[in-house]
C-alpha cells in the first residue's frame, strides 16, 4: 500500500496532506525518512514527527438531516455545533457545510479523501435542494437561475431548475459557493425562506427526520468510495 494511502486510512489526514508531510520530512518508515511513493507492508512501522501511527481506523460515513440552527463546525466550544448535536463517540467531521439557516442532508466522515473528492468543484458532483421564497417566483426568474446568476463578482455555473409550486422550486447545483442559492435568489429580488438539501450525488435524504442521522448503506458507500 502506498504510504499516503496508509496514513489517510489511519484517519490522521487526507492523502494530499500526507504527501505534504512526507515532502516536509516529517514521516519515517521503519526508521528511515520516507519519500513520495514509499510502499508500506504489514508490520512496517510508520511514524509522523516521531509518533507511531497505528492500525487503520474503521471508516465512518454518516448522513444527517441537519436542522435549522445547527452550525457545521468541528469547534465544540461553539454553541449548537454539529459534532455535539450528533454526539458520535469517534472523531468525525462534516463534508462541506450547510449554513445555519439551511437544513437537510449533510454527510460526516473520518475519511479526508472522500471529503476532498466530493468538495473538488471540477468533479461536478450534483447536490439537490428544495427552495421556498418569500413571494411567487416567475418562470423568467427560474430560467435566469438555471442559466447562471452573477453573485460575488462571478456568474454561477448553469443548474437544473424545476418549479414545485408558486413559491417553491427544485435546483440541482454542481458547485458550492458560499450561501450560493440564497445569493442567487437575492440577486433576482427574492428571499429564500426555506432551503433544504435533499440529495448529495446518489445519496438521498429520503424520510430521515430532522435532527436524526444514519450510517450510509453498502450501496451508497459503493457509489461514494468505489
Residues 6+ apart with CB under 8 A from 212: 64, 65
Q: 113: closest CA among 44, 7, 1, 16?
A: 16
Residue 48 CA: distances (Å) to CA of 16, 69, 116, 125, 200: 15, 38, 22, 33, 34
Q: Is the distance from CB of 156 to CB of 185 less than 8 angstroms?
A: no
99 is catalytic: yes
Report d(CA 201, CA 174) in Å as an integer.
Answer: 10
Distance of CA 59 to the CA centre of its chain: 15
For residue 84, the SS3 value is helix
- For cell 413571494, name the residue: 135
Pairing of strands 103-109, 192-200: parallel
State the catalytic residue, choosing from 99, 101, 134, 139.
Answer: 99
How many other C-beta atoms are found inside a 10 Å radius of the C-beta of residue 187?
A: 16
Enter the DSSP assignment of 165.
S
C-alpha cell read off for 157:
455555473
Instruction: Enumerate the active-site residues.
Output: 99
Amino acid at each position: 500500500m502506498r504510504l499516503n494511502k496508509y496514513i489517510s486510512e489511519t484517519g490522521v489526514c487526507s492523502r494530499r496532506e500526507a504527501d505534504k508531510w512526507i515532502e516536509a520530512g516529517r514521516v519515517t518508515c521503519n526508521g528511515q525518512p520516507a519519500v513520495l511513493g514509499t510502499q508500506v507492508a504489514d508490520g512496517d512501522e510508520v511514524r509522523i514527527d516521531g509518533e507511531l501511527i497505528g492500525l487503520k481506523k474503521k471508516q465512518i460515513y454518516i448522513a444527517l438531516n441537519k436542522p435549522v440552527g445547527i452550525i457545521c463546525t468541528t469547534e465544540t466550544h461553539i454553541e449548537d455545533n454539529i459534532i455535539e448535536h450528533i454526539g458520535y463517540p469517534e472523531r468525525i467531521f462534516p463534508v462541506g457545510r450547510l449554513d445555519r439557516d439551511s437544513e437537510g442532508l449533510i454527510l460526516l466522515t473520518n475519511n479526508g479523501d472522500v471529503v476532498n473528492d466530493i468538495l473538488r468543484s471540477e468533479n461536478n458532483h450534483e447536490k439537490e435542494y428544495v427552495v421556498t421564497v418569500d413571494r411567487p417566483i416567475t418562470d423568467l426568474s427560474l430560467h435566469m437561475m438555471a442559466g447562471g446568476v452573477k453573485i460575488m463578482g462571478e456568474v454561477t455555473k448553469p443548474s437544473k431548475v424545476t418549479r414545485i409550486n408558486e413559491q417553491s422550486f427544485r435546483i440541482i447545483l454542481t458547485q458550492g459557493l458560499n450561501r450560493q442559492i440564497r445569493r442567487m435568489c437575492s440577486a433576482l429580488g427574492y428571499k429564500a425562506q426555506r432551503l433544504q438539501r435533499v440529495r448529495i450525488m446518489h445519496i438521498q435524504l429520503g424520510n430521515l427526520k430532522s435532527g436524526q442521522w444514519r450510517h450510509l448503506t453498502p450501496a451508497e458507500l459503493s457509489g461514494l468510495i468505489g
